[in-house]
Amino acid sequence: MLIDYLLNNWLEFIGVVSGLICVWLLIKENVLTFPVGLIYALITMVVVARANLFADVLLNLYYVLINGYGWYYWLYGGNQRGQQGILKPIRTTKRTNLKLLVITILGSVIMGWALAEFSAADLAYADSFTTVASFIAMWMTARKHLYSWVAWFIIDVVQIALYLLKGLDSQPGLFLYAVLYTIYLVMAVMGFRSWQKSIDVAS
């Protein structure tokens, strides 16, 4: 039964595997997280388009672009490099975090309204929140901000509910993504602790 399920949802399975590898490399501060992330984003674009999660399609298109940016920034950008030339994580200020929170809330409301009014998108506001919040979190990740992991944890909780609801509705393949984001919750905690330790060592 499991084999039949995986055969019928093979694209989702590849997406899950590449997503896990991507986040594991991110926790380890390995720059290869970005090319793997490109693969994950391209696959996920197809998966969420089939589920009519249009905000998620836009999100994963952005992921393709921001993974390219993050790849470059981790290799050549930034000024928070240690003696070995490795880009170190940084803490954002409370003021910056507040600005990012306001942008997330306003962006989620505006996008949710637009999708609800002008498209056939399902769960428009929840989908829009995960999309806008992920825009912000991915930018923070590309710049190696420690609190990106906090943002990812919150996003993962909402995304799990979203994929479970859609899985029960009409897209059983999304259950694999719900499992993926459950694992992401644990990995977000691991990532925060790992990056925090990296900051403390560099201090």
**Residue keyed to tokens 């809330």:** 105
Write phi, then psi, for 148 (nearest 5 degrees): -60, -30
Mean pLDDT of 102-111: 95
Q: Is the pLDDT of residue 53 over 80?
A: no
How many domains is the chain partitioned into structurally? 1
Res 167: pLDDT: 63
Maximum alpha-carbon separation in the chain: 53
**Could you give the CA distance from residue 38 to residue 89 in angstroms, rounded to a whole number?**
21
Amino acid identity for residue 5 in this structure? Y
Give the C-alpha distances (Å, rounded to integers) separating 193 from 24, 147, 153. 13, 11, 13
More confident residue, 187 or 16: 187
Residues in the chain: 203
78, HSE (Cβ side, Cα atoms, 13 Å): 23
Write phi, then psi, for 195 (nearest 5 degrees): -70, -35
Res 2: pLDDT: 46
pLDDT digits (tens, 9 = 90+) for 114-152: 988 888 777 889 888 988 999 999 999 999 999 999 999
Backbone φ/ψ region at 78: left (φ over 0), alpha (ψ -120 to 50), beta: left
Mean pLDDT of 17-33: 93
DSSP β-bridge partners for residue 145? 90
DSSP β-bridge partners for residue 90? 145
Res 119: pLDDT: 80
Domain around 8:
2-80+89-186+193-202
More confident residue, 84 or 185: 185
Vertex 25 angle, CA 194 and 81, to 5°: 60
Nearest CA to 69 out of 33, 17, 34, 25 is that of 34
The DSSP-derived string for 159-189 is: HHHHHHHHHHHT-TTHHHHHHHHHHHHHHHH
